Amino acid sequence: MAGTCFCFDLDGTVTRAELLPMIASEINLEQEMSLLTRLTMDGLIPFEDSFRLRFAILRSAGLERIRSVVAEVEIDPDIAAFIAANRERCFIVTGNLDVWVEPLMQRLGCRFYTSVSQIGANGEVELKHIMRKNVPGLELKERFDRVVVVGDGYNDLPLFDVADVGVAYNGVHASPDALISVADYVTMNGKGLCRLLSTL
């Protein structure tokens, strides 16, 4: 397939709130989660280690409860409309877990690349594989002439590294300087982002 494809980070880009802190507040572990998020954002803990810890904290909420929180998260209407109009060439690339974000796969209707879970011997959800975002980035580069990526955090750096065009998104919170320093564009709300994407 030729042409341009668009990869979106999920949390704080397509969704108007970060999903993991939302789940944490459901089980009264908001402070623990916010400390971990801050340490990750400051680059003190690598994303993979941080995600393992966050998974360990949040799994106690139970799958159904997590999914019901995820199902209710607000989605940016402009980004959702852009994805709906370009479903075959839009992709979500998220470090979040497949079984947790499943309700959003149905709402957005495009392909998701996620971290992967498996069901363990005791029937519980286990972490099988953590997403490294350059992997789907490189895979999509094989299929499309040009890969445009949109993200807001450190874990988007590997995706920006392999992209043709990088857009840092400041719509929910300011992107870290490290991400902005490798971006071609910065947009500050869904309207501006989609206006840009429609000209690329």
Partner 1 sequence: MSIVEHAVVAAAGLGSRLGHGKPKCLVDFGGVSVLAHIMSLLKDVPDVRVVVGFMETAVIAELQRVRPDAIVVRNPSFRTTTTLHSYALGAQHLAGDCLFMDADLLIVPETFQAFLDGCRPGEARLALTASKTKDAVYAEMAGQAVTGFRREDPTAFEWSNISWLPVRYFEDIGMTAVYEHLRRYLPMASGEVVSFEIDTAEDLAQAKDNARLFGLTAT
Residues in contact with partner 1 by CB under 8 A are: 170, 174, 177, 180-181, 183-189, 191-192, 195-196, 199-200
Q: How far is the CB of 76 from partner 1 (least distance, A)?
A: 13
Q: How far is the CB of 124 from partner 1 (least distance, A)?
A: 43
Are the beta carbons of 133 and 112 closer than 8 angstroms?
no
Q: Which is nearer to partner 1, 40 or 187 (CB)?
A: 187
Are the beta carbons of 165 and 200 closer than 8 angstroms?
yes
Q: DSSP assignment, residue 14?
A: I
- Which two structure tokens, joined as six digits, stand for 64? 């159904």
Helix (H) / strand (E) containing 118: strand 111-119
Helices (H) and strands (E) in the chain, counts: 10, 7
Q: How far does Cα 155 stand from its chain's mean position?
A: 9
Q: How far is the CB of 183 from partner 1 (least distance, A)?
A: 6
Q: Which is nearer to partner 1, 12 or 136 (CB)?
A: 12
Q: Which is nearer to partner 1, 7 or 130 (CB)?
A: 7
Q: How far is the CB of 142 from partner 1 (least distance, A)?
A: 23
Distance between CA atoms of residues 41 and 90, nearest Å: 26
Q: Which is nearer to partner 1, 105 or 180 (CB)?
A: 180
First to last CA, the chain: 17
Q: Which is nearer to partner 1, 136 or 190 (CB)?
A: 190
Nearest to residue 173, comparing CAs of 52, 49, 80, 34?
A: 34
